[in-house]
Structure 1
């Protein structure tokens, strides 16, 4: 009898991979918040209120970039190092670092741990997951290192050797992980460098590489020629290119004559600002022009891009590029009168279409719920509420100025939204909902008709 009770308890505390992922991120966030609460973490040597610490830690681990306190002036060097470590852990995933240290210590990676890795990377199977994780870490550090060196060439002449090197490393990591944290101070982000070609293109490149997904980066490195790439990689690259090019053109048109954003800039500055404005909503959070002074069209375009976000298995959030493309192509297939969704002459299974649709509906519902709560608890305009909610869900970090004015309830709801956006709305739903039993999957009910449209 005792053995049966113990077995029952073990079965009860056994967690699914999605639940371990959700709890893992929450644990890292809590530990980060405790470290940021220490007096040594703030520049003035005083303890920071816990709500602001948990907000900053959540924003760092969820690689968002929304901050209630200015990163460059409020936090000490120690606090900033804690933030950048949390960003790296959040960007690569805590399982990546756990696997790395396990391999160093010579510990064997279990099947359960491989399943968690598969869930974290949105991989198709568990084969080669450990090798992929180690490969990802090597690629990440190499790309961040190259980006840091290039940024140092610009920051060292401005801030000196020590500070220039530090700034180069911090902003390279923050950009690659799509975090959007900066050290410039006074919530200016990268606006002082709007016409600096090197900084703009370097940050943009790091954002794009970090946002297309580790599987895509790995496949590009190991394959030659677009035709030899997998369907997933083709969809991600094509969608990313279309969103960046179309977004840049639209931002150029919307903001070209705006005296508070692009009008004072040179033609080169306008082009750089347009490209940057199209790339950064893909969950990065930096800005080179004032987001609050954009035209209404520019703000709304930013909201759309933030909602779409980056790609699966990347450092970014949002519904993901492949999800957006899958639903878009499904609509095209319906218009053409075809039963199956077709992309690049490949047929997509209905289960994937249903999953993509579920992600979009849950994500849209979360953004709308957050917007509604903010409209009740905050003072501002509707566009500010929707912008803030979408930015938090997409783990972007852009704001129209509402973040620093958030009430306690507003901070809590944004924390929850950032967490849900990073873990993934569908993953979070699976983590806290009981999955259907395998034995019930064969049950089919009678088919009937319903009027739609």
Structure 2
């Protein structure tokens, strides 16, 4: 074991990250498959447990069997552990524990953690990492505490407390799992606590740890602001990354709300049957959860096809870097959009907020978006072979949901063939580690190789 750990420390960073996630998924599936993790009435096979473990560690939410009807208390605790490991990463949690007990991690290990958390500098990294674990726990505890006011009267003390903790951890980690039944949170479509607290936890978990601490650093200035100009002035002191992420997150939530309202307001199978306040709550809830969390208070199978197609765009984008969310990431897509706009205008430099962005970052963003599109196409093509009777648009929705680690489904996952479910498992795994691994691979190229430049050539395009 000691020899393996020694060899592991010398592996490339991208391989370390991949192996740590795969290890957690495999061990988790073995524990979930044990009789002591399951209810006596469970009919799940090992394949179902493997699918679930991958989805839990990938913080996706897709499953072939419902948690509430498959796992007992111990199995549900294992589910929470896997979600936590997936949200922050096994390497991150283990290193935080080591640091907490006063032990030092090597420079090589710090670089691995830096890449795993999408952080681009080592300054104050130990303090940053411990604060991530600390405030993650605080947010989850606060969410659980608020849920208890509703869940304890509904389920009793023991079950109510545990269900509150389960939902809070799952929401903050953008996992999309619940232990409340077989229809996600549809039974709580009219409960304000669920419709407000769950989206807030999703946003906090998905916006990125670096944005948290940047906003926290200027919190006193925000709190003492007496006018809109004061708020804008303080906002300008945030880092370029924070401003981009906050702006795009708000834009995407508002855009999703508008599209959902226009498309589903009168649909009797979705929003049409709700009161005005119920509609507003459901609209806000789905606008937030569709980008990465996977909870639903409405049945997606009853939505208009336009809504599902539009929602795939938001699922593809996902959350923000350095958090618990998946997808191509807001800042990545934003940079590609900036590139397109700049090219249309015929400009050379790509600028944002009076700053010129490095072309190397733009190229990485473009590679990630193109790879995500290509991988989605490959997965969709395979699933059309394995489940050719299923309408293409539903398969498309399923693959994008898996790659974006969103977890939304039009009641399709459990009905797919084992071959298609295997494709979905690979989608979830790649979706969770893909952007991280790509950034790592591109950021650690062999710099000893000569960057050769030849005589300029020309190729016709368009």
Q: Determine whether 1:193 maps to 2:202.
A: no
Give the whole-Å Cα distance in 2 for the aligned partners of 1:230 and 1:450. 39
Kept in 2, the 8 Å contact 1:155–1:168? The answer is yes
The total of aligned residue pairs comes to 442
User: Which residue of structure 1 aligns with residue 121 of structure 2?
Assistant: 125
User: Which residue of structure 2 aligns with residue 422 of structure 1?
Assistant: 432
User: Which residue of structure 1 aligns with residue 408 of structure 2?
Assistant: 398
Is the deviation greater in 360-369 or in 104-113? 104-113
Give the whole-Å Cα distance in 2 for the aligned partners of 1:425 and 1:236. 16
Give the whole-Å Cα distance in 2 for the aligned partners of 1:441 and 1:427. 23
Give the whole-Å Cα distance in 2 for the aligned partners of 1:64 and 1:396. 5
Give the TM-score normalised by structure 2.
Answer: 0.92
User: Which residue of structure 1 aligns with residue 335 of structure 2?
Assistant: 326
Is the deviation greater in 305-314 or in 273-282? 273-282
Give the TM-score normalised by structure 1.
Answer: 0.94
How many angstroms does 1:101 deviate by? 2.1
User: Which residue of structure 2 aligns with residue 231 of structure 1?
Assistant: 240
- Compared with structure 1, are the counterparts of its residues 426 and 97 closer, same or farther at alpha carbon in structure 2 (3 Å cutoff)? closer
Alignment partner of 2:175: what SS?
A: coil
Kept in 2, the 8 Å contact 1:39–1:45? The answer is no
Alignment partner of 1:424: what SS?
A: helix
User: Which residue of structure 2 aligns with residue 91 of structure 1?
Assistant: 87
How many angstroms does 1:352 deviate by? 0.7
User: Which residue of structure 2 aligns with residue 167 of structure 1?
Assistant: 163
How many angstroms does 1:47 deviate by? 7.9
Kept in 1, the 8 Å contact 2:264–2:303? The answer is yes
User: Which residue of structure 2 aligns with residue 440 of structure 1?
Assistant: 449
Q: Determine whether 1:77 maps to 2:73.
A: yes
Which blocks of at least 5 consecutive residues in structure 2 are unaligned? 1-5, 222-233
Q: 1:30-429 residue pairs with structure 2 within 5 A?
A: 30-44=26-40, 48-186=44-182, 188-223=183-218, 224=221, 225-378=234-387, 379-425=389-435, 427=437
Kept in 1, the 8 Å contact 2:54–2:428? The answer is yes
What RMSD in Å do the two structures reach over aligned CA positions? 1.9
How many angstroms does 1:46 deviate by? 6.2
How many angstroms does 1:336 deviate by? 2.1
- Compared with structure 1, are the counterparts of its residues 430 and 211 closer, same or farther at alpha carbon in structure 2 (3 Å cutoff)? closer
Alignment partner of 2:236: what SS?
A: helix
- Compared with structure 1, are the counterparts of its residues 261 and 388 closer, same or farther at alpha carbon in structure 2 (3 Å cutoff)? same
Which blocks of at least 5 consecutive residues in structure 1 are unaligned? 1-9
Give the whole-Å Cα distance in 1 for the aligned partners of 2:445 and 2:85. 32
